[in-house]
């Protein structure tokens, strides 16, 4: 525990708010939807026609653990609109879709030509486990399945399915752009280091977290009958709530990645379940590199407050999203 | 020319129907939509936010030549319903989407971990040109952009966009499955060699050609007001025409890949603009390997007749699709 506590990224001992005595964890009420989400994904995957070897590879990458942050955000963004009792196939499809995109991106990012990582979620990466060709193809398949689950016509009306898939493609485009900026550069000229690191993080991580939250919120609005046939919020209050979820997502997305940067230089690989210290090794742009560790921690607190403030619009239904922010600010892996 | 004629895959000298004196070409009327399709794709690509390095990589892979078979099929499948004068954004979006998926698949298939090809369309492959990491990411981006162009909300009503994107995800899933069968195996047990090669080809090539044709036909039905809000054909005749296009596509898809197999063993790499003889080198399942060259050529003629027959339902509007079949049966690269 001492090693963990020492490594906790966010709050230095001198800061107010003492370290928790052990690793923080998400409350049971927050992770309660996970079994249903995983069963939904698993059932969808089982129904898709594909070679069993490919199915096994997708399953390995998809259902082998992980924080499931994106589906939890989608779920609780839906609940932030509807309250915890309404949830349906569009919300579950959204949860599955964002996890498929996240899992695909990890498989491709781990490839030898990319980050060349051998370990992910404490296990061999997919290309180590099943070969590089299968990892390329399984990643491709997962990206395609993410759209497939939204568009399968099982649960969502066409207009909602289209709206959710559009959010997904926007988020995925940002994620890929962020990966290019992070690993290959290609910035417009004249940007400061700080502007560049924000651009990397807003895209690489933020765009898909934003899509996760917005997809959940749209599914929630739809369940409440608050979307027009054209897919826009039907009332001013509905529009304000969608905007609040979006602002929340943008703050949390950036905060999440700054915490990641801090953990990369303060945690052991054994604790994180993946290689650490690699940003530094790779000479990547990071928040600690630009703002220092203390500056990064201050930025994390600022964004946490910003996310909390956005949730005010959502009233008591937003409490689960608030708990997620609090956890993400102090997570240690 | 002698070398080309000798290599022509389909009709051996002893067969009726003499070889054309030079390479066959698609009629001007068939390729006439290509500039509009390419301009549409180019304009879409220019509007998408992304690093310029990524945009250049996508452009290199996407707009660097190629037969453009899939967008031409989508276009003329639309025209087979509407006649040549009606075409709109949904048809152009469909053309762009299927070419994006095709181009993404070539980029990933060419990777060192996959087919390890250095030459494509007579130029260095993308990973040779821009590096392997960029090739992985640009391929991912193109698959995502294929959904993006359909879902952007610029031209298609939500229900049609959803329908087109659903066809695309089905076709892409088949294509990826086919690539797995072709390069990594994973067949169910008890299949004959013939059954396995059909399974490879129907998926690897056929699924996306089917999606191309069906997307075009759906755009055509929609332009004519012949789709219900649920996305089904509104009349029996409309349903019959969609089915005819589907049957056409299935025959042409299989035929196309058998011709490819034959060309792979009868053509020089210089003529084909890509490495040839590689199926044999890789010990892949091919039609000539299973049925012999003569058997493969007979199968090509059988499928050509089957495609033509399916088109009977479409009347004179189907003539462009008929010309495409005739060209595909005798192409030499």
ipTM of the prediction: 0.90
Please say whether the structural domain B21-330 has been given the CATH code 1.10.600.10.
Answer: yes
Q: Write out the two tokens for A116.
A: 């060349």
d(Cα A130, Cα B173) in Å, to the nearest integer?
19
Q: Residue B53 and residue A180: Cβ atoms within 8 Å?
A: yes
- Bridge pairing between strands A123-124 and B119-120: unpaired
Q: Which of B49, B163, B165 sits opposite A177 (nearest CB)?
A: B49
d(Cα A46, Cα B128) in Å, to the nearest integer?
37
d(Cα B232, Cα B218) in Å, to the nearest integer?
9
Tokens 């500056």 label which residue? A295
pLDDT of residue A112 exceeding 80: yes
d(Cα B154, Cα B90) in Å, to the nearest integer?
9
Smallest CA–CA distance, residue B177 to chain A, in Å, is 5
Is residue B42 classed exposed, middle or buried when 0-12, 13-18 and 19+ CB atoms within 10 A define those classes? Answer: middle
Q: Is A121 helix (H, G, I), strand (E, B) or coil?
A: coil
Q: Is B48 helix (H, G, I), strand (E, B) or coil?
A: coil
d(Cα A318, Cα A249) in Å, to the nearest integer?
12
pLDDT of residue A311 exceeding 80: yes
Q: What value does the mean pLDDT take over residues A30-55?
A: 95
- The candidate with the shortest Cα–Cα distance to A90, out of A39, A7, A157, is A157
Q: Write out the two tokens for B322.
A: 């008929």
Chain B within 8 Å of A139 (Cβ-Cβ)? yes
Residue A154 phi/psi, 5° resolution? -80, -35
Question: Percent of chain A having pLDDT more than 90?
Answer: 72
Query: What pLDDT, on the 0 to 100 scale, is given for residue A21?
Result: 45
**CATH code matching the domain that covers A14-330, chosen among 3.10.450.200, 1.10.600.10, 1.10.20.60, 1.50.10.20:** 1.10.600.10
Chain B within 8 Å of A163 (Cβ-Cβ)? yes
Closest-CA residue in chain A for B172? A144
Smallest CA–CA distance, residue A172 to chain B, in Å, is 7
Chain B within 8 Å of A153 (Cβ-Cβ)? yes
End-to-end CA distance of chain A: 13
Smallest CA–CA distance, residue B218 to chain A, in Å, is 15
Query: What pLDDT, on the 0 to 100 scale, is given for residue A278?
Result: 66
Q: Which of A51, A136, A185 sits opposite B111 (nearest CB)?
A: A136
Q: Residue B177 and residue A147: Cβ atoms within 8 Å?
A: no
Higher confidence at residue A46 or residue A266? Answer: A46
pLDDT of residue A272 exceeding 80: no
Query: What pLDDT, on the 0 to 100 scale, is given for residue B19?
Result: 44
Give the number of other Cβ atoms within 10 Å of residue B1's Cβ. 8
Smallest CA–CA distance, residue B173 to chain A, in Å, is 6
| Contact status, residue A22 vs residue A4, Cβ threshold 8 Å | yes
The helix (run of H) or strand (run of E) holding residue A316 is none
In sequence order, which ranges of B185-235 are alpha helices (DSSP H)? 193-201, 207-223
Smallest CA–CA distance, residue A235 to chain B, in Å, is 20
Tokens 């059909």 label which residue? B198
The CA–CA distances, whole Å, from B54 to A190, B58, B246 equal: 19, 6, 35
Q: What value does the mean pLDDT take over residues A40-51?
A: 96
d(Cα A179, Cα A199) in Å, to the nearest integer?
11
What does pTM read for this prediction?
Answer: 0.90
| Contact status, residue A215 vs residue A284, Cβ threshold 8 Å | no
pLDDT of residue A190 exceeding 60: yes
In sequence order, which ranges of chain A are alpha helices (DSSP H)? 2-7, 28-31, 34-47, 52-62, 69-82, 89-109, 126-130, 132-151, 158-184, 193-201, 207-223, 236-266, 269-272, 278-281, 287-311, 319-330
Query: What pLDDT, on the 0 to 100 scale, is given for residue B231?
Result: 84
Chain B within 8 Å of A225 (Cβ-Cβ)? no
| Contact status, residue B216 vs residue B94, Cβ threshold 8 Å | yes
DSSP B205: I
- The candidate with the shortest Cα–Cα distance to A194, out of A246, A261, A249, is A261
Chain A within 8 Å of B313 (Cβ-Cβ)? no
Instruction: Scan residues 238-297 of B and list those with Cβ closer than 8 Å to A.
Output: none
Q: Which residues of chain B have pLDDT under 70?
A: 1-23, 86, 155, 268-282
Q: Write out the two tokens for A127.
A: 């290309």
The CA–CA distances, whole Å, from A205 to A198, A219, A263, B305 equal: 11, 22, 15, 52
Q: Residue A53 and residue B180: Cβ atoms within 8 Å?
A: yes
Q: Residue B108 and residue A144: Cβ atoms within 8 Å?
A: no
Q: Residue A153 and residue B136: Cβ atoms within 8 Å?
A: no
- The candidate with the shortest Cα–Cα distance to B197, out of B101, B132, B262, is B262
Distant-in-sequence, close-in-space partners of A305: CB < 8 Å, separation ≥ 6: none
For B68: left if phi > 0, alpha if psi spans -120 to 50, otherwise beta; the answer is left
DSSP string computed for A164-222? HHHHHHHHHHHHHHHHHHHHH--PPTT--HHHHHHHHHIIIIIHHHHHHHHHHHHHHHH
d(Cα B268, Cα B332) in Å, to the nearest integer?
10
pLDDT band at A282 (very low <50, low <70, confident <90, very high): low
Query: What pLDDT, on the 0 to 100 scale, is given for residue A281?
Result: 64
Distant-in-sequence, close-in-space partners of B42: CB < 8 Å, separation ≥ 6: B59, B63
- The candidate with the shortest Cα–Cα distance to B278, out of B126, B136, B109, B138, is B109
pLDDT band at A134 (very low <50, low <70, confident <90, very high): very high
- The candidate with the shortest Cα–Cα distance to B160, out of B97, B101, B104, is B97
Question: Percent of chain A having pLDDT more than 70?
Answer: 88
Q: Residue B184 and residue A145: Cβ atoms within 8 Å?
A: no
pLDDT band at A327 (very low <50, low <70, confident <90, very high): very high
Chain B within 8 Å of A169 (Cβ-Cβ)? yes
The CA–CA distances, whole Å, from A263 to A10, A66, A106, A187, A278 equal: 9, 16, 18, 25, 11
Q: Residue B173 and residue A139: Cβ atoms within 8 Å?
A: no
Chain B residues with beta carbon closer than 8 angstroms to that of A172: 144
Q: Residue A148 and residue B170: Cβ atoms within 8 Å?
A: yes
Query: What pLDDT, on the 0 to 100 scale, is given for residue A324?
Result: 95
d(Cα B247, Cα B310) in Å, to the nearest integer?
6
d(Cα A232, Cα A146) in Å, to the nearest integer?
23
**Per-residue pLDDT tens for A66-79?**
889 999 999 999 99
Q: What value does the mean pLDDT take over residues A96-118?
A: 97
Chain B residues with beta carbon closer than 8 angstroms to that of A151: 162, 165-166, 169
d(Cα B311, Cα B322) in Å, to the nearest integer?
7
d(Cα B292, Cα B273) in Å, to the nearest integer?
24
Domain boundaries, chain B: 21-330
Chain B within 8 Å of A151 (Cβ-Cβ)? yes
């Amino acid at each position: 525990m001492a090693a963990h506590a020492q490594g906790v990224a966010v709050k230095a001992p001198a800061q107010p708010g003492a370290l928790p005595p052990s690793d923080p964890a998400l409350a049971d009420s927050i992770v309660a939807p996970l079994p249903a989400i995983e069963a939904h994904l698993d059932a969808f995957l089982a129904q898709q026609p594909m070679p069993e070897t490919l199915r096994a590879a997708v399953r390995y990458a998809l259902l082998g653990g992980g924080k499931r942050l994106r589906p939890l955000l989608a779920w609780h963004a839906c609940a932030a609109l509807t309250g915890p009792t309404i949830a349906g196939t569009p919300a579950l499809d959204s949860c599955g879709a964002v996890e498929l995109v996240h899992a695909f991106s990890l498989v491709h990012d781990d490839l030898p030509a990319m980050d060349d990582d051998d370990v992910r979620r404490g296990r061999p990466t997919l290309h180590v486990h099943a070969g590089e060709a299968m990892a390329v193809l399984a990643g491709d398949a997962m990206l395609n399945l993410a759209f497939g689950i939204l568009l399968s016509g099982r649960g969502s009306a066409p207009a909602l399915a289209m709206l959710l898939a559009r959010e997904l493609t926007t988020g995925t485009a940002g994620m890929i752009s962020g990966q290019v900026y992070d690993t290959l550069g290609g910035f417009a000229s004249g940007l400061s280091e700080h502007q560049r690191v924000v651009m990397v993080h807003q895209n690489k991580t933020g765009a898909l977290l934003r899509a996760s939250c917005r997809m959940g919120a749209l599914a929630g609005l739809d369940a409440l009958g608050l979307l027009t046939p054209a897919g826009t919020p039907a009332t001013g209050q509905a529009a304000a709530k969608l905007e609040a979820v979006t602002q929340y997502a943008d703050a949390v997305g950036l905060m999440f990645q700054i915490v990641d940067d801090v953990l990369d230089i303060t945690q052991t690989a054994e604790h994180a379940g993946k290689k650490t210290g690699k940003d530094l090794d790779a000479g990547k742009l990071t928040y600690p590199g630009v703002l220092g560790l203390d500056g990064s921690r201050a930025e994390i607190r600022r964004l946490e407050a910003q996310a909390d403030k956005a949730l005010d619009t959502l009233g008591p239904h937003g409490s689960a999203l608030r708990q997620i922010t609090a956890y993400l600010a102090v997570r240690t892996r």
